[in-house]
A = this chain, B = another copy of it.
Amino acid sequence: MDYLASPHPFDQALRLQRLPDGHWQGHTSPAYANMVGPFGGMTAAQMLQPVLQDPLLLGDPVALTVNYATGVADGPFTIRARAARTNRSTQHWVMEMVQSDQSVITATAVTAARRETWGVDDEPLPDCPPPAACSAQRWSAPVAWFDCYEMRPVSGSLPISWDGSSQDSQTRLWVHDQPARALDFASLAAMSDVFYPRVWRRRATHTPAGTVSMTVYFHASRQQLQDTGTGYLLAQARAQAFRNGFFDQTAQLWNEAGLLLATTHQIVYYKS
């Protein structure tokens, strides 16, 4: 992938410049703007990018944790990334995003040179209509990053009526980059954060909410991501507990062939 040559807004957002001190300079992307600051999925992808670009990288991503310490301001940022430990087949990374000399994101990643082993998927692709049978979401919210994804809701869409009625917390949707872009580790990390806050679904009540920490476990190999290409992913999320200002989210992303590409978790702040 030649990030410098690609005109895709996702690749443009991932453009980082290595500074003489070894840190990385980047800039938030207007295309991936959220209501305030950038889409958290794009920030996650940006945090992973120094790892993916480092000549010392061993293998491919296995785990990524991103802690959203505060709102990222629109504008330039610096990412510090270091391989804290390199083993024979695994590597442990520590990353931090800094703006105006203040820490705004902390993160860790594990990469590994994976070998073929016995394997099985125990969380099957849910029984749901294919993307072609689901209508594309028409968002009313004026948020730029929604336009960067084609989302085809299957179930658990945003409440139509914010009437405080009790519902389950589950959402399923088909999603891929818009315009089309072949899947890779960075875009899979970003899509792990594609869901609107579970508390909105669970209560049909609009309350301020924001991800505090997200973890992504990458089950797919580089080849399996390439094979997925520009196809849709089925993204499914639900919460397990809402308590005193924080709820969790547990989610899965499959490709159309039914391969579980990633499992991902969040803890999310909500106001009331």
Contact = CB atoms under 8 A, between A and B. Distances in A.
Given A112-B245, A215-B215, A106 B94 contact: yes
Contacts of A242: 117-122
Given A116-B244, A122-B241, A67 B260 contact: no
A176 interface: no
Chain A binding surface SS class? strand
A96 B69 CA distance: 18
B63 A87 contact: no
Interface residues of A, number: 62
A206 to B, nearest CB: 13
Contacts of A252: 240
Task: Report how many copies the assembly holds.
Answer: 2
Contact of A119 (B115, B117, B119, B241): B241
B84 A103 contact: yes
A239 interface: yes
Interface of A: 62-63, 65, 67, 69-70, 84-85, 87, 90, 92, 94, 96, 102-104, 106-108, 110, 112, 114-123, 168-169, 202-203, 212-213, 215, 217, 219-221, 238-246, 248, 250, 252, 260, 263, 265, 267, 269-272
B92 A94 contact: no
A122 B265 contact: no
A90 to B, nearest CB: 7
Contacts of A107: 108
Contacts of A220: 243
A92 B217 CA distance: 21
6 contacts: A70-B87, A118-B242, A121-B241, A217-B246, A219-B243, A250-B250
Given A116-B244, A215-B265, A241-B123, A67 B110 contact: yes
B96 A67 contact: no
A85 B102 contact: yes
Contacts of A271: 117
Contact of A217 (B169, B244, B263, B267): B267
